[in-house]
Structure 1
Amino acid sequence: MAVAAYASLVSLTDVLDSVQLPRRRHRLHLDKEQIQSLQQKVLFLQHFLELHSQRISPEMEDLARQLAVVADEADDIIDYHVVNQLLEKSRDNTHHMAALSSFRQDIDKIIKNIDSITEKLMMVQEERVAIQEHPPTIFASMGTTAPSSSDKNTMVGFDERLFQVVDELTRDESDFQILPIVGMGGIGKTTLAQNAFHHRLIVDRFDICIWFTISQQYSVRELLLKYLINAKIIEARVGGELDLAKLGECFHKLLFRKRYLIVMDDLWSIKAWEDFNRYFPVNSNGSRILVTTRLLDVARSLGFDNHYFTMTFLDNDESWDLLCEKAFARKSCPYPELEEIGRNIARYCFGLPLAIVVIGGLLAKSNHTREYWDFVEKNVTSFVNSGDDDHCLKILSLSYHSLPIHLKPCFLYMRVFPEDDWIEASKLIKLWIGEGFLKPVGGKSMKGAAEEYLKDLVDRNLILIRKWTRSGKIKECGIHDILRELCFRESKREHLIRVPKAQKIHISIPISDDTCFLCGHGGESNKIHLQEVCVGSQSTKVVNPSVCEACSNMYQNLNKLRWVSIHDQSCVRYLLHTKLRYLDVERGDRFSMNRSVIILDKFFLLWNLQILDLNSMETTSLSEVWEMPKLRHLCNYTGSLPDPVKGQDSTILQNLSTVWIQKFCCSEEVVKRIPNLKKLCSSGWLSGDYCLAQFNKLESLHLGFGKSGLEDIGFPTSLTKLSLVFCTFHWEKMTIIGSSLPNLEVLKLHSAFEGAEWSPIEGEFLRLKVLVIFSEELEHWGAEDIHFPNLHALYLHHMKNLEEIPLSIGDINTLQSIYLDKCRVSTINSAMEILKDQKEKGNESLQIYVNVVNEEPVYFRLR
């Protein structure tokens, strides 16, 4: 319960911050000193739990339970008064003294309840200290930074097995074969398959390599659709309209007569295999299917002549080697006094790689003292000696219990995502912020704090990195299914999400307004279990937020929704009295020309809203945005942000850091109102005076469909990422970008420049790491290695007229990869010359990827 109490207190602190923010049109009537007094008490309790979360007694657990309830009640009371005042203010300007008095009385009750719990907590703590002669050491993770091992899948003890798998897959036999890998969860099946999948012999042998993660809940259509879209075989808009038969036919055609390798990871049944198998052509050319499964009967059924690979546990030496790799980022222990203890820890993980990796992440974050390692050894040993078959989960729980309390809610939140899900890091961060789990530390923003939290959990091997961005940041992540099970177990124990507090609703199928989504008057298919709504299950699908009077009276907690995703704007009006922090609105038919218009005149009631994604929905006006002081993220592809009304009491949107808008009014007043803007995307063009240089914290800028000159924009020197799309600039103007942006690291040019020749100038683009060019006009690129001395990756798309890539580009010491997509043959040949030249110079690290335009695109890597 300490985690639930802590999460509620952090969320309440954010609410108290919100209620004190100045508002120009809808000023709240409250006792500011009283609110600040309450906030200080809440911050004290946060600090207390941070200090003592590792040694909470049963008495403290009971008090923490009470504290969580009081904090949630305080959240409700504040929201009640704020919404009532906003509603009254929108009608007339009377009764504010009565509102102030009522608000003050309720806050006073909250303070008394918190004071009572605080006093009891202090008494319990004093008694505990008095009893103990030596208070126990708090074994929380230390602040030392260890190298992250998350960017690679360490193979320890499986070299021979990897050789066998690769040999089987590349054997010169034309028969179509299925090779199963079987073993318990966490034993390394997926890691072995991944290392085989990316092995050089595999990449060279197969025309197409495809990876499917199946899991217990799967959709053949969704997996095929996702692959075909990612491989650019079909467009998302077209694919969304195709049924399974059409998608399967397209997939079958893609593989026909090609030598392919398909990995089916985490297969749970023969039925799942049969559902997919019909779309795999049986080519007699050495095509292979590699399957990983926990079920021996599945492996036996699929394996040719009953042949399959069985994963075995690591022996003691291999376990120790893997633990060293994770704890020290090296193959041996640099502390002789810890080796004996460490070997015991590794031995009692029973050779299970997942357990060793997670414990290694725990030890990597420690200060490597004998006392701490003794503590870990004692706990791991006790789990083994208990005789409980669940010892693996108990070993993994060590890492959870050793987490600082501020990371625990974020880790436990991972359970809401489906098994084996690929989670967008940006979305996860928004959800953490929306739940109120985060607090800014060290001057960082909420987003910055969330990124630190995510990195910390990755470094502890509790969250997996599934995909990186071009600039080297986490793009997609996930969690091992055993650790996900741990999240479920610990969430239940911690009571982190308490019914009936609703956390999320996803609204996807609009029906008649008189149909209640709780009791389902519209028919049996429209019914939904209340508990699903209350706990925010990922599987929750709500057909309409309309609630009948009976259900509204019975379930009054529906106004506590934090995150709502709506695919029809007609549902918006039901949500104006909720505690929304994250609202995502998009029509199901995004490409329809008959889109409805959202009216935002009542959005000021969403006083705590932080993330507003209107996507492609049209709006009457976004002027209400200027009355949302908590707003952090605004997205509306088809809207425009109007110039705010000038005034000395203007609301300053200190938190607004991301704006994605069609037409951005870049005036002096706008600059004044959003001083901390970090990311700006204007899919139309800028209007007003060009004051971009005054956004001195802007890091990422995306501009599209521009007609003005580059010299008119005035880029801020703080930019690290710039994207220009469908502009009409000339290549000689590139020097404006190169000379005025000393911190630029990522540059994306999509049909942004006109002309046949670009000759870069030395001394510009000194920090550029990623360069992406999409141009059908460019013929000659007069670049050398000195022009991009820090380049890591080069992407060339649709360069149909580019004669060649300059040979000296390969001499850039930092260059790791070149990607060519639909380029002319001479350009591809020049890339092969670069690769050959670099190999002759001893450079084996450069990788070149090519997409050749045939009947179907085929991606391969030049070697």
Structure 2
Amino acid sequence: MFFPVSSRAINPTEIIISGSCFLSMAVAAYASLLSLTRILESIQSPARLHQLRLDTKQIQCLQAKVKLLLDFLGVYGQRRSQEMEDLARQIADAAEEAEDAVDPHVVDQLRDGSQDESHREAAFSSFCQDIDKVIAKIESITKELMMVKEEWADPQEQKPIALLPLGSSDALSSIDKNSTVVGFDEHLVRVMDELTRDEPDLQIFPIVGMGGIGKTTLARSIFEHPYIVNHFDMRRWLTISQENRVRKIVLDLLNDVKIEDDNKKTLAELGSLLYKKLFGRRYLIVMDDVWNTNVWDDLKLFLPKNENGSRILVTTRLSNVVVSLSSKKPYMMDFLDEDKSWNLLCQETFSQESCPYPELENIGKDIAKGCKGLPLAIVVLGGLLGKSNMTRESWELVAKNLTSVANLEDDDYCLRILSLSYHNLPIHLKPCFLYMGVFREDYRITVSKLAKLWVAEGFLKSIKGKSLEQAAEAYLRDLIDRNLILIRTYGHGRNIETCGIHDLLRDICLRENEKENFMRSPKVQRAYIGSGYDMCFACGRNPTSHKIDLNEVHVASQLTSLVSVSVCNTCRNMYPSLTRVRLVRVRVIVRRRGFSRESYEEILHPTNVRYLKVKSSADWEFAFPSTMALLWNLQVLTFGLKSGLPKAVLPPEIFDMPQLRHLIAPRKSVFLPDRTGSQGSVSMTNLQTLFHITNFRCTEEIIQRMPNLKELKVSYYGGTGSMEWSYYCLYNIARLRKLESLFVGSNGLLSLENLRFPTSLKELRLYGCSIRWEKLKIVGSLLPNLKVLTLSKNTYKGPEWNQVEGEFPRLKVLTIFDCHLVWWRAENVQFPNLESLVLSFMWKLEEMPSVIGDIPTLRSIHLESCNNSVVDSAMQILEEQQSYGNESLQLYVDEKQI
């Protein structure tokens, strides 16, 4: 919650509508202050206090003044005036100056101590002076804002829409956007009828309409409709957009085909594989958002005609594309009429097709009419109104703003309507929304990655009692509720797995980024550096034309070595000296030829980086330098390495990085040193994710340093012998009281009989662990919160599994892959909450227990490459359930629904 600076009572969730656009720099200033807040908290953490020399009172004074500015922007940051613009710019500059002062001070003190006492004293004195200057600047800004806010205190000048606070539920799995396509029923039936006509030739069916009219929504509803799922042997969804990536599209169509060295195969070779895969099968391919025929011209060569009713469904905005693609008459998407517009607005606002507030009905119909029948505009405004306090005054303000843009052309009109929802966002959500403009059009981003990026950028406002990642999920949920971010895919348990943004809303992000000056600073941009990627260090987007030696930059005296970076013309003109170069937060380093000794040092700049991804295509091992701990604020370290190679060896100093939250790597690629018994290591209380660590020793000392670990993936490879296995101390995993997800893998030569688990586990995946089946009942009885269980590659050995009643009371997803199980016995109903059962490559299994069908929550059974007798037993279960009237159970055999 933001607290007002003035004594006048102001609803902290008020949002002001006062014109066509809001002030530039306010969001950038707010984000800069939040970033500085995280920095000041970091250097005062217990793990850092024994390493750093600080004037604690001075830092706390700065914190208090920063909070005052945050409170001010939270209330007044959306004001539209020259005074506010000037203040916001000054605030952003002051916040970045403070970060500029902190970074070299921290790095100097984390060095090896070779500097003499006089140098350290002089450096500390200089740091204190720099902070004093920032404090003085903030005090001056505060005096100015206290003067101008008196001019804004007139209640008549502010016309707020009172918004509801953030929802009480935090789990993204609680979001289930209404799947009903209001007003589209007629479209749905007509298009499905066309696609399933008894006409054997391969046909292209185009859906045409302007952006936001609902083409993709209609196509997705058709694609997922049970009738279509049953009619076609194979379905694939392709998002085409304006970029032509034929090779990637072919690989997407082959995503379930194992291809060795696919990067070495030509497009023709991949196309041949695709042709063979599709031959003889009735397929449906949706090509969404087609802008030209280039992709189709290349792709059609690899699609067999089959003469069995296969179809290509195309969505496009361009009628001329349709003429080139197909002789078939296109299906034109019309605007919604007034009744359907009102029904859709009610559905998005109230989750029903009528208005429960009679006093809002007339003004609501005016708003729906003002959207001119454009579904996307209605949906987005419904998200805005659904967050309001349902007062006539608030709704009238929305209607008034719609009237002001009524005479614009279609595209501009739509963008202006969509902008209303952005303008009415609370300021703490605006950086999150604007950041979506970083991603390319139609990009699917995983929720976990997005949360990590938001946290790393430093612009998240904390929520009391929650981690920053949980705050990120709460803010994402809020943006989804407002229909500004789309759910792309769900994972297990209806958790949102990936999300994205409509291209028109992405246009809003880009436009508002320009106005707000949010993405024009190197502080927020990603930097791509590496051979083959000549991208600008500052903006991460534009091709470069200049090399700037960091020796020219005034902060170079604090760097351990000099590095040349590339800068584009735009950033060179905007930031002549690149004095904020060290404020880059998110960095990707690409080395196609591996890392040399010199390029290892490149990893260390800028030292204040928070999100670092290292990508390499080399075939040899590389080791990070011992000076890695100079990346003192690193929160996310992730690797993009060639499959299985190279292996990355991290230095012991990795345990001296208390800000690290996530360490993520491909399987079998990263080794951590054994730091048992060493002196000086700090507690890594922020560490939440540790993926994939090879031969990791889970000693009591190491586990105690990671008390808040939530996700752990470890793999073990070696010889046999209990003494060798006990060396890894896997039983200590049970000490991780907050662990929720665990993967343990082995090459099968090591037995994990002594493996122990904490009761907090929700997901457990075991691979090649060679445990006897009778031990599974211990797992089932001791893990009351387990929801996902995956057993792979003979994790459990022996031919027989006798289930005991009461095991796995909350399990929702069970996957058994390539295990030598022969007899699976269960007399009573097991897994009382199971929703999905997956059996893959279970060649020896004779049959499934018939009581599986009696599980009331079971929705799907997936069988892949299993014994015919297993398929027969599953068919019997399905038929029995259907005879009882249970139509919800679905059976899939080798991807085809039965």
Q: TM-score, normalised by structure 2?
A: 0.87
Partner of 1:175, secondary structure, is coil
Deviation at 1:169, TM superposition (A): 0.8
Distance 1:383 1:427, change over 3 A: same
The answer as to 2:762 corresponding to 1:698 is no
- What CA distance in whole angstroms lies between the structure 2 residues aligned with 1:69 and 1:278? 56
1:351-386 Cα deviation digits (max 9, x unpaired): 111111111111222222222222222222222256
Alignment partner of 2:230 out of 168, 191, 204: 204
Matches for 1:491-530 after TM superposition, within 5 Å: 491-501=513-523, 503-507=525-529, 509=531, 530=536
Matches for 1:287-302 after TM superposition, within 5 Å: 287-302=310-325
1:70-111 Cα deviation digits (max 9, x unpaired): 111211121122223334636666632222111110000000
Check conservation: 2:797, 2:819, Cα contact below 8 A.
no
Deviation at 1:644, TM superposition (A): 3.6
1:27-59 Cα deviation digits (max 9, x unpaired): 222212111111121122212222333445432
- What CA distance in whole angstroms lies between the structure 2 residues aligned with 1:25 and 1:715? 34
The answer as to 2:430 corresponding to 1:428 is no
1:430-458 Cα deviation digits (max 9, x unpaired): 21112112243121111111111212211
The amino acid of 2:327's aligned partner reads F
- What CA distance in whole angstroms lies between the structure 2 residues aligned with 1:113 and 1:258? 70
The answer as to 2:312 corresponding to 1:284 is no
Greater shift after overlay, 730-739 or 39-48? 39-48
Greater shift after overlay, 376-385 or 97-106? 376-385
Distance 1:800 1:816, change over 3 A: same
- What CA distance in whole angstroms lies between the structure 1 residues aligned with 2:730 and 2:361? 66
Check conservation: 2:250, 2:299, Cα contact below 8 A.
no
Aligned position for 1:854 = none
The answer as to 2:376 corresponding to 1:333 is no
Distance 1:205 1:654, change over 3 A: same
1:784-815 Cα deviation digits (max 9, x unpaired): 66220011111111111112222221221211
Distance 1:325 1:825, change over 3 A: same
- What CA distance in whole angstroms lies between the structure 1 residues aligned with 2:547 and 2:849? 57
Matches for 1:112-511 after TM superposition, within 5 Å: 112-129=136-153, 131-132=154-155, 135-137=158-160, 139-144=162-167, 151-228=177-254, 230-231=255-256, 233-235=257-259, 237-305=260-328, 307-385=329-407, 390-501=412-523, 503-507=525-529, 509=531
Check conservation: 1:615, 1:635, Cα contact below 8 A.
no
The amino acid of 2:497's aligned partner reads K
The amino acid of 1:392's aligned partner reads C
- What CA distance in whole angstroms lies between the structure 1 residues aligned with 2:547 and 2:57? 44
- What CA distance in whole angstroms lies between the structure 2 residues aligned with 1:69 and 1:689? 50
Partner of 1:655, secondary structure, is coil
Deviation at 1:497, TM superposition (A): 2.0
Aligned position for 2:74 = 50
The amino acid of 1:624's aligned partner reads E
Check conservation: 1:29, 1:96, Cα contact below 8 A.
no
The answer as to 2:598 corresponding to 1:566 is no
Aligned position for 1:855 = none
The amino acid of 1:823's aligned partner reads C
The amino acid of 2:654's aligned partner reads V
The answer as to 2:785 corresponding to 1:754 is no
Aligned position for 2:857 = 814
Aligned position for 1:66 = 90
Partner of 1:714, secondary structure, is coil
Deviation at 1:189, TM superposition (A): 0.7
- What CA distance in whole angstroms lies between the structure 1 residues aligned with 2:236 and 2:465? 44
Check conservation: 1:773, 1:795, Cα contact below 8 A.
yes
Check conservation: 1:345, 1:381, Cα contact below 8 A.
no
- What CA distance in whole angstroms lies between the structure 2 residues aligned with 1:183 and 1:368? 33
Alignment partner of 1:537 out of 529, 533, 541: 541
Check conservation: 2:77, 2:84, Cα contact below 8 A.
no
- What CA distance in whole angstroms lies between the structure 2 residues aligned with 1:784 and 1:189? 50
Deviation at 1:492, TM superposition (A): 0.6
- What CA distance in whole angstroms lies between the structure 2 residues aligned with 1:279 and 1:708? 46
Distance 1:548 1:676, change over 3 A: closer
Check conservation: 1:735, 1:760, Cα contact below 8 A.
yes
The answer as to 2:78 corresponding to 1:37 is no
Aligned position for 1:659 = 690
Aligned position for 1:19 = 43
Partner of 1:157, secondary structure, is coil
Distance 1:221 1:301, change over 3 A: same
Deviation at 1:538, TM superposition (A): 8.9
- What CA distance in whole angstroms lies between the structure 2 residues aligned with 1:28 and 1:605? 13
Distance 1:680 1:697, change over 3 A: same
Distance 1:699 1:540, change over 3 A: farther
Distance 1:304 1:24, change over 3 A: closer
Check conservation: 1:145, 1:365, Cα contact below 8 A.
no
The amino acid of 1:164's aligned partner reads R
Alignment partner of 2:657 out of 621, 625, 628: 628
Over the aligned positions, Cα root-mean-square deviation in angstroms equals 2.8
- What CA distance in whole angstroms lies between the structure 1 residues aligned with 2:238 and 2:797? 41
The answer as to 2:25 corresponding to 1:9 is no
- What CA distance in whole angstroms lies between the structure 2 residues aligned with 1:48 and 1:492? 23
The answer as to 2:130 corresponding to 1:106 is yes
Distance 1:383 1:186, change over 3 A: same
Deviation at 1:707, TM superposition (A): 6.5
Aligned position for 2:10 = none
- What CA distance in whole angstroms lies between the structure 2 residues aligned with 1:329 and 1:810? 34
Deviation at 1:192, TM superposition (A): 1.2
- What CA distance in whole angstroms lies between the structure 2 residues aligned with 1:242 and 1:192? 36
- What CA distance in whole angstroms lies between the structure 2 residues aligned with 1:453 and 1:193? 29
Check conservation: 1:54, 1:402, Cα contact below 8 A.
no
Greater shift after overlay, 35-44 or 545-554? 545-554
Alignment partner of 2:708 out of 676, 695, 701: 676
Greater shift after overlay, 726-735 or 146-155? 146-155
- What CA distance in whole angstroms lies between the structure 2 residues aligned with 1:699 and 1:538? 41
Greater shift after overlay, 18-27 or 631-640? 18-27
Alignment partner of 2:609 out of 580, 595, 607: 580
Deviation at 1:121, TM superposition (A): 1.1
Partner of 2:396, secondary structure, is helix
Matches for 1:743-822 after TM superposition, within 5 Å: 743-751=785-793, 752-783=795-826, 786-822=829-865
Distance 1:413 1:728, change over 3 A: same
- What CA distance in whole angstroms lies between the structure 1 residues aligned with 2:841 and 2:547? 43
The amino acid of 2:513's aligned partner reads S
Q: TM-score, normalised by structure 1?
A: 0.91
Deviation at 1:273, TM superposition (A): 2.2
1:299-323 Cα deviation digits (max 9, x unpaired): 2332325x11000000011111111
Deviation at 1:534, TM superposition (A): 2.4
1:627-651 Cα deviation digits (max 9, x unpaired): 1111001235433434446589652
- What CA distance in whole angstroms lies between the structure 1 residues aligned with 2:45 and 2:753? 38
Check conservation: 2:689, 2:709, Cα contact below 8 A.
yes
The amino acid of 1:320's aligned partner reads W
Count of residues paired in the alignment: 828
Aligned position for 1:638 = 669
Deviation at 1:388, TM superposition (A): 7.9
Greater shift after overlay, 746-755 or 38-47? 38-47
Partner of 1:789, secondary structure, is coil
